[in-house]
Structure 1
Amino acid sequence: MELGLSGKVAVFTGPGKGMGPAVTEAFAREGCRLVLAGRDLQALEAVADSARSLGAETIVVPCDVTVASDTQRLAEEALTAFGTIDVLVNMAGGTGPVGKTAWETTQEEFDQIVQLNMTGCFNSMRAMLPGMIERRYGKIVNVGGTFGMRGRAGRMAYSASKWGLRGITKSTAIEAGPYNVNVNCVAPGMVDGPRFRTKVMPGYAKAKGITEDEAIAAHAAEYALRRISTAADVANACLFLSSDVSRQITGIDMPVDGGWAML
């Protein structure tokens, strides 16, 4: 299937870590021109080098998405470099407190993750949308999480922030729809990778008194497809929702979790 993304300008927030490099490189392979934004410039430059090696024109812009003036400057630099913004993929985010109940979570912890996961997406969308609306074209993909579709003990603050992002996505989809702008949310479940293997699973295994291999198998057993998602799975969902192949899809939550959130 031809996605028709070649030559499109795609802006990414938070592409330097986690699943970010895999998602970014997938767009590079499709022939997109890329704008990479985040706080860790060393990580961003590494992803940019990889994208360029795949033939993608790529620029890096320092940006803290929780600061509205930073996201406004991001939009301006993207337009200066490429003349337009076709796609925005919001990946910048955090995990918040892990293993804390609602009553153990501090206000500072709660405010911090809501600021990053909700306000950060709001700021970048607010900066990019005027140009998309003027051109009557745009694709926005917010990367949420399945804990924002089903509650999870010990992850209240994170769950709340991702649940809120769904509301931001759906309301903006309604508002931007008349201008031919699609706004959707990709909700990854547990994604295999360095963090999953070196942080999440060792902690889970220790808490349960089992081996790490048993911990991975236990997680996989929760999913209908009996396997853990990969960063490539998430990248493919982002590509689909950023293309005109999905022209009639807006305001949705797309779980990429092997069948957990919707069961």
Structure 2
Amino acid sequence: MAYVGATAGRLAGRRIVITGASSGIGRATAQLFIAKGAIPILLDLNGAGLAETIGDAEGLSFEVDITDENAVQDVVDQVAEKLGGLDGVVNAAGIMLLGPTADFGFDEWRKTIDVNLTGTFNVAKCCIPFLIKETGSTVVNVSSGAGLLPNAPAQVAYAAAKGGVISLTRALAADLAPEVRVNCVCPGLVDTPMAERFRANVVNYALKRMAEPSEIANAILFLTSKESSYITGSILAVDGGRTFH
């Protein structure tokens, strides 16, 4: 864990919790936010990955299970006390467990829902008491194109969980307005190890390629920044034209 004072930039001094920050979209978002002057609070089960993400930059990092209510609350309380509050959340943590519905085990179903949906709710809920005290605070959830258009086989749990994230976003936006803006990005295939097996599927994308993690991070930056100050409850497809949503 390391912390240094904030630097100037588009997110200067904003204290933002980012989950799933050890790799992929979460890591790209954390590094972009650091470059824009935010004070990131990084959460992930992979402590070594968090250390690689943050390097010698300013911020805090915690090895924590986002489905553990007490553990997340302890971290959030500790961070809010140390930094004097919180300004934002990016829920980027997620897993993808696949299998035909008839063969898909209940343990796999529960884990998929727990991490993707309940974990997203848990982190947001723990942060809300601090977010509502600040001006311009934000929550950005990461869902998936599978939540918008669940048209691929063997993804029933993943699609259900990510669809839940979309509805959760809209419900939170209604519940927390006007103090907190809550929005969601829905990536298509992103060039990360998790998506490697689906690389051939980009034939169905208008742009005919996977996204780079940085492209999703830029969308998250927009929804976190003042430029999106009149946007809440939106579901932004960042999917290369997979859904034309």
Indicate whether 1:178 and 2:149 are aligned: no
Contact conserved, 2:86 with 2:134, CA < 8 A, in 1?
A: no
Instruction: Name the counterpart of 1:221.
Output: 203
| Residues 124, 251 of structure 1: alpha-carbon distance in 2 compared, 3 angstrom cutoff | same
Indicate whether 1:41 and 2:42 are aligned: no
Instruction: Name the counterpart of 1:92.
Output: 93
Instruction: Name the counterpart of 1:27.
Output: 33
Structure 1 residues 38-77: aligned runs within 5 Å: 38-49=44-55, 52=57, 57-77=58-78
Q: CA deviation at 1:219?
A: 2.7
Indicate whether 1:148 and 2:154 are aligned: no
What number of residue pairs does the alignment pair up? 237
Q: CA deviation at 1:39?
A: 1.4
- CA distance in 2: counterparts of 1:129 and 1:137, whole angstroms: 13
Contact conserved, 1:187 with 1:256, CA < 8 A, in 2?
A: yes
Structure 1 residues 59-208: aligned runs within 5 Å: 59-96=60-97, 98=98, 100-151=99-150, 152-179=152-179, 181-197=180-196, 200-201=197-198
Following TM superposition, the consecutive aligned residue runs of length 4 or more in structure 1 with deviations greater than 6 angstroms are none
Q: CA deviation at 1:178?
A: 2.4
Indicate whether 1:251 and 2:233 are aligned: yes
Indicate whether 1:261 and 2:238 are aligned: no
2:80 counterpart letter in structure 1: L
What do residues 84-130 of structure 1 show as CA deviations (whole Å, max 9, x unaligned)? Answer: 2111001111102x2x2222211111111001111101110001111
Note the residue ranges of structure 2 that are not aligned, 5 or more in a row: 1-8
Q: CA deviation at 1:194?
A: 3.8
1:256 counterpart letter in structure 2: V
1:12 counterpart letter in structure 2: I
2:182 counterpart letter in structure 1: V
Instruction: Name the counterpart of 1:212.
Output: none
- CA distance in 2: counterparts of 1:9 and 1:27, whole angstroms: 10
Range with greater deviation from structure 2 (3-12 or 68-77): 3-12
Contact conserved, 1:75 with 1:127, CA < 8 A, in 2?
A: yes
Q: Looking at CA atoms only, which structure, 1 or 2, has the larger radius of gyration? A: 1
Contact conserved, 2:15 with 2:88, CA < 8 A, in 1?
A: yes
Instruction: Name the counterpart of 2:213.
Output: 231
Structure 1 residue matching 2:101: 3-state secondary structure: coil
Q: CA deviation at 1:19?
A: 2.3
Contact conserved, 1:86 with 1:132, CA < 8 A, in 2?
A: yes
Structure 2 residue matching 1:37: 3-state secondary structure: strand
Q: CA deviation at 1:168?
A: 0.9
Contact conserved, 1:37 with 1:74, CA < 8 A, in 2?
A: no
Q: CA deviation at 1:136?
A: 4.5
* TM-score normalised by the chain length of structure 1: 0.85
Identity of aligned residues (%): 31
- CA distance in 2: counterparts of 1:71 and 1:33, whole angstroms: 18
Indicate whether 1:18 and 2:18 are aligned: no
- CA distance in 2: counterparts of 1:153 and 1:138, whole angstroms: 38
Q: CA deviation at 1:196?
A: 3.5
1:229 counterpart letter in structure 2: A
- CA distance in 1: counterparts of 2:244 and 2:126, whole angstroms: 32
Note the residue ranges of structure 1 that are not aligned, 5 or more in a row: 202-215
Quote the RMSD (CA, aligned, Å).
1.8
What do residues 149-180 of structure 1 show as CA deviations (whole Å, max 9, x unaligned)? Answer: 1112110000000001111110010011122x
Q: CA deviation at 1:226?
A: 2.2
* TM-score normalised by the chain length of structure 2: 0.91
- CA distance in 1: counterparts of 2:163 and 2:55, whole angstroms: 34
